[in-house]
Structure 1
Amino acid sequence: MDLNSYSPGLHKLVTLQVDAIEKLKDSKGFVAITNKILDKYSLEQVGINVHDFENDSFTIAVCLKESHICIHTWPEFNQLTLDVYLCNYLQDNAAKVRAITQDYIDYFEAQVLKNFEINR
C-alpha cells in the first residue's frame, strides 16, 4: 500500500430541510432506518448513544467498526444535520458514504441545504 496516496475515508456533512416534523422527533424511527441501512451496506455497529431532548428533538451517535454516523435534529426549524464517515482501510468506501447519505435524504424526504464532502 502506497502511504502517500492513501486516503483514510470520505466524510459527508449535510444540513437538511424536512417538512415531516414527526420524523425529526422520532429517534426510534431513525434507529430503525439506520439498522436497515447498516444491514444493506454490511456495516458493523459497535455502539450507539441516543439522547432525546425536552422539545422532542434528538441527537444520536452511531459508532461503527468502519467509523460513525451522527445526527442532530431541530424540529422547531424543520432541520437536521447529519454526518456519515467511513474509513477506507480495506477498500474505497466513498460511493457507500454517498449512497448512505442519499438513503437518509430519501427517508426524511428532505431538501439539501448544505452538502460538504471532506476527503480525509
Structure 2
Amino acid sequence: MDLPAYSPGLHKLITLHVDHPQRLTDSKGFVAITNSILEAYQLEKVGVIVHDFDNDSFTISFCLKESHICIHTWPEYNQLTLDVYLCNYQQDNSQKVRDIVAGYIAYFEGTIIKDFEINR
C-alpha cells in the first residue's frame, strides 16, 4: 500500500541577542505574550512549566496539543534560545511557526544570532 508523503512539521530554533535584558527576566510577560499567541493562532495549551532562576533568568516550556514552545534566557549575556515546533497533522503549520517566531523576535526586539529550520 502506497501512503501519501507526510511531513510531521517545522521545528524552528533560534538564538537572539536582546539589547534590553528586562524582558529576559520577565517570565510573567513571556507567559502572557505566549498565551496571546496561542489564542491568535488557535493553538491548544496542554500544560506549562515555568522555572525562575536566582538571577531572574527563566526557562519555560509550553506543551501544546500541536507540539511545543520552549525558551531559555541568559540576561547576563543578553541572550535567549527559543524552540517552536508545530506538527502538521491536519494542515501545514510551517508559516504559522515562522510567524510565531517573528512575533517573539519583535516582542524581545531581538537580533538573530542563530536561526535553524528543521523539516521533520
Name the TM tier (shorter chain).
Answer: over 0.9
Paired with 1:4 and 1:73, the residues of 2 have a C-alpha distance of 40
* Structure 1 vs Structure 2 CA RMSD: 0.9
Structure-2 residue corresponding to 1:14: 14
- Matched AA of 1:81: T
- Matched AA of 1:36: S
TM norm structure 2: 0.97
Deviations 1:19-78 (A, max 9, x none): 111100000000000000001100000000000000110000000000000000000000
Matches within 5 A, 1:71-110: 71-110=71-110
Pick closer, same or farther for the CA change 1:53–1:93 going to 2, 3 Å.
same
Structure-1 residue corresponding to 2:44: 44
Paired with 1:17 and 1:117, the residues of 2 have a C-alpha distance of 18
Q: CA deviation at 1:5?
A: 1.6
Q: For structure 1, which runs of at least 5 residues remain unmatched after alignment?
A: none
Paired with 1:40 and 1:22, the residues of 2 have a C-alpha distance of 25
Q: For structure 2, which runs of at least 5 residues remain unmatched after alignment?
A: none
Pick closer, same or farther for the CA change 1:20–1:3 going to 2, 3 Å.
farther
Q: Secondary structure at the match of 2:118?
A: strand
Paired with 1:77 and 1:33, the residues of 2 have a C-alpha distance of 22
TM norm structure 1: 0.97
Structure-2 residue corresponding to 1:113: 113
Paired with 2:60 and 2:24, the residues of 1 have a C-alpha distance of 12
Paired with 2:3 and 2:11, the residues of 1 have a C-alpha distance of 19
